[in-house]
Structure 1
Amino acid sequence: MRPDSRLTDDCRTSLVRATAQCPDLDTLSRLAYCFIRLVRNRGGARPEIWINEAINSPFPPISGFAAGLYGDHGAVFAGRTANWL
């Protein structure tokens, strides 16, 4: 997914319309954008908030992925705080 700043006006408008008409798409889009921010920024909101929301989502692939992250919390924390070259 592209950051909002890299979407064309047409794409942004289409996404807004689609998510307004489909609550599942809205939830999935929000989860995806929040995860991207967590990974790219390695700061900000704590991953536990995203993990809990994703585990309780109606999307088995997302909830399964989030459950795996929850199960390996130590590695997730280390990955967010380690200095990468």
Structure 2
Amino acid sequence: MTAQPPSPRTVAGWILRRPTALSEAEQLQLKSVLAQCPGLDALTRHVRPFATMLTERWGERLPEWLGAVRQDDLPSLHTFAAGIDRDRDAVTAGLALSWNSGVIEGRVNRITMLKRQMFGRAGFELLRKRVLPA
């Protein structure tokens, strides 16, 4: 009886987690999967450094990473890299700086929710009373 192959979700989880966070059995299974699929192995070699750039805030490594992505034949990553290139300065800043717009986005989200709740039910005055005290 042969062992059940891991699900795509499981393999994606292994690839996206830090290698040190994987158990020995998971590392062996991932190694086996990557040995059978060279495309997935190449993808893993790009995804892990990008994840490190995100978590460690190493935006200065982005041009080097984009160059490495373009060297491999991975069309989906080429599309991702092209999207990053369209706004490279902003992406580099997002990877390097600790600032974020989370508070502002939360406020906008709350106001949008209030507007949707009240659509067709009340006039501007009631909407104003609900939004401004917040």
TM-score, normalized by the shorter chain, greater than 0.5: yes
Identity %: 32
C-alpha distance in structure 1 between counterparts of 2:49 and 2:87, whole Å: 19
CA-atom RMSD in angstroms = 2.0
Report the count of equivalent residues. 85
C-alpha distance in structure 2 between counterparts of 1:3 and 1:24, whole Å: 20
C-alpha distance in structure 2 between counterparts of 1:32 and 1:64, whole Å: 14
> Structure 2: 5+ residue runs without aligned partners?
1-15, 101-134
- Once the 2 structures are TM-superposed, how far is the Cα of residue 44 of structure 1 from its aligned partner? 7.7
CA deviations on 1:29-70 (whole Å, 9 max, x unpaired) are 111111101111112861111112223432222110111112
1:63 matched to which residue of 2? 78
Q: Write the mapping of 1:40-79 to structure 2, written as runs, cut at 5 A.
A: 40-43=55-58, 46-79=61-94
C-alpha distance in structure 1 between counterparts of 2:70 and 2:82, whole Å: 6
2:52 matched to which residue of 1? 37
* 8 Å contact kept, 2:70–2:78: yes
C-alpha distance in structure 2 between counterparts of 1:79 and 1:66, whole Å: 15
* 8 Å contact kept, 1:35–1:50: yes
- Once the 2 structures are TM-superposed, how far is the Cα of residue 79 of structure 1 from its aligned partner? 1.0
Give the greater-gyration-radius structure (CA): 2
User: Structure 1 residues 71, 55: CA separation in 2 closer, same or farther (over 3 Å shift)?
Assistant: farther
Structure 1 segments, 4+ long, off by >4 Å, are none
Worse overlay, 5-14 or 52-61: 52-61
